Chains A and B, each alone.
Chain A
Amino acid sequence: MNSAGNALEDLVYRFIATVAVVLPDDVSNKLLELARMENSPYGKIIYNAVLRNNELARSRKLPLCQDTGTPEFQVAFGEGFKHKEELLAAIRKAVAKATLNGFLRPNAVDPVYNKNTGDNMGRILPWIDVELVPRSSDAVVQLYLAGGGSTRASGAVVVDPADGWEGVFRFILELIAEKGMYTCPPLMVLGVGVGPTISIATRLSKKALLRPLGARSPDPWVSEMELALEKAINKLGIGPQGLGGAGSVGEVHIEYGERHPASMAVAVTTSCWALRKGQLIIRNDYSFDVTTHRGGLIDA
């Protein structure tokens, strides 16, 4: 590979390591806020451990959680970005290298042969969603590490339009009451997608999950629903690590699109407290910006 390709591989490698080791700014701030608010007897113990852990991870440059999840990439290529193929190849190589060097745990298991591929490579992995953006010459790379436990309370269903949002709320509350405690609560973001089909709703729920904390839906009625759902979920009393407490969710984000006359699909994508995500903008001259981590990329 040429030296430019190597530079991209090295950049993506450091990006992956950073996402596995350091929480993004918005998550880190929300975590402190949740820790301050929590008054349950075990909340203090849990948050002490969590904050100590995150400091240790940063200083030792080690993955803050051993489950580095399934690395899910989303790449938005500006039509004018010149290194598309190079970047896709760099992502693949960087994932393998990050696995070899212990920034990612080998998490790719072939379900037919029940065999761990060993390097996070496989038939569909690393997962890269690609979209093309007109009138841009940058590439925007988003990475989300989808942990096994954290996605456990995710789910989707088609509700009858007659039940409408009431059906959506009921589905979400039942899901979280039953499974929320198994996903390392507080759930940092509960991403909700509503649309005509499950596959579209699921994509929207992922978009909701990755929306920065503190950013409400621009639709006033939807942002009101987000706040109301947060209150309702916290009322369930699941608390940090499911040991009971006031804070069970950081924020609820809802993304929606039109439904079908006969169906209203809702998908929920959950995250644990350790929502590990990052965004990297790469320009044609290989200069870059990390928009999610104030401290920039770690040396890995």
Chain B
Amino acid sequence: MRDELTIEAPVKNRGILENLRTGDVIYLSGLVATARDEAYRRIALMNEEPPLSLEGWAIFHAGPIMKRMNNKWQCLSIGPTTSIRLESYSPSFIERTGVSIIIGKGGMGRGTAEACRKHRAIYAVFPGGCGVLGASFVKEVIDVKWLELGIPEAMWILRVERLGPLIVTIDATGRNMAEEVKSEAKSRMNEALSTIREGLTKKRMHEEKP
């Protein structure tokens, strides 16, 4: 487990990503764009052009709380949203935009892992629920696109400094830690059911209560 590596985004040389492995902990400085359900739908499903070129960019699955103060947007709270919702659009989104780092939570599926392998991209988890911590790394709200989608769904362009910890769970070889945890959980199902039976002093569940 590698720690404390800071990556500059947009990523110009993907070699640095290729050296990362699942479980590595990284931080991100530079520019990041938020994109979630509606942005994914527009780009991946409706074939709309992204509002700016995202080649090499870092994308954050997030819907922040923003407040307009003195004619400038301020980020009050920003953390990851559940990435798996975007799984079906994800391979096409990666292909069409050329993004190199995807930040979210909960992990993604096989399609994303395959697309990461093909396009030398990675997926990393920022601790979910940590909205104020996330906002503390946002140094400037640079721009907003597609604001008509509403504040959570708009594409926010942010300048961040050492956004992290980011735990890599899909690397550029296509290895997928979330899938590993999930299949392990499923394989323990029967064992877990036996735990319940053993935990109950009443052996037969249809017996009357004590």
Q: Which A residues form the contact surface with B (CB < 8 A)?
A: 41-42, 45-46, 49-50, 52-53, 56-57, 60, 62-68, 101-102, 105-107, 109, 115-116, 118, 148-149, 152, 164-166, 169-170, 173-174, 176-178, 180-184, 219-221, 224-225, 227-229, 231-233, 235-239, 241-244, 272-274
Contacts and interface: CB of A to CB of B under 8 A. Distances in A.
A66 B133 contact: no
B46 to A, nearest CB: 13
Interface in B188-203: 188-189, 191-193, 195-196, 198-202
29 contacts: A49-B133, A49-B165, A52-B133, A62-B76, A62-B135, A63-B65, A63-B76, A66-B78, A66-B134, A148-B82, A149-B106, A166-B205, A170-B193, A173-B193, A174-B189, A180-B185, A220-B210, A221-B210, A224-B199, A228-B198, A229-B196, A231-B195, A235-B191, A236-B185, A238-B181, A241-B105, A242-B106, A242-B182, A244-B184
A149 B128 contact: yes
Contacts of A241: 105-106, 125, 127-128, 167
Contacts of A57: 131-132
Given A116-B152, A224-B199, A237-B188, A184 B169 contact: no
B134 to A, nearest CB: 7
A233 B192 contact: yes
Contacts of A149: 81-82, 105-106, 128
B186 interface: yes
A176 B192 CA distance: 12
A115 to B, nearest CB: 8
Contacts of B152: 105-107, 116
B185 A177 contact: yes
Contacts of B193: 169-170, 173, 232
Given A152-B82, A228-B195, A228-B196, A272 B182 contact: no
Closest 3 CB pairs of A and B: A228-B199, A116-B150, A66-B131
A105 B79 CA distance: 12
B134 A231 contact: no
Nearest to A118: B150
B65 A105 contact: yes
Given A68-B65, A149-B82, A241-B127, A181 B196 contact: no
A225 B185 contact: no
Contacts of A152: 82
Interface residues of B, number: 61
Given A66-B134, A67-B63, A149-B82, A221 B185 contact: no
Interface in B10-45: 23, 25
B65 A102 contact: yes
B199 A231 contact: yes
Interface in B129-162: 129-136, 149-153
Contacts of A219: 209
Nearest to B134: A66
Contacts of B185: 176-177, 180-181, 236-238
Contacts of B199: 224, 227-228, 231-232
Contact of A221 (B81, B127, B195, B202): B202
Interface in B105-131: 105-107, 125, 127-131
Contacts of A239: 181
Contact of B131 (A53, A101, A169, A233): A53
Contact of B82 (A46, A53, A183, A221): A183
Interface centre among B1, B25, B189, B209 (most CB of A within 10 A): B189
Given A184-B105, A232-B195, A274 B129 contact: yes
Contact of B188 (A63, A165, A235, A274): A235
Contact of B132 (A62, A116, A174, A182): A62
A152 B81 CA distance: 11
Contacts of A105: 63-65, 77, 151-152
Interface centre among B23, B81, B196, B201 (most CB of A within 10 A): B196
B67 interface: yes
A242 to B, nearest CB: 6
Interface centre among B23, B78, B181, B201 (most CB of A within 10 A): B181
Contact of A102 (B76, B81, B106, B189): B76
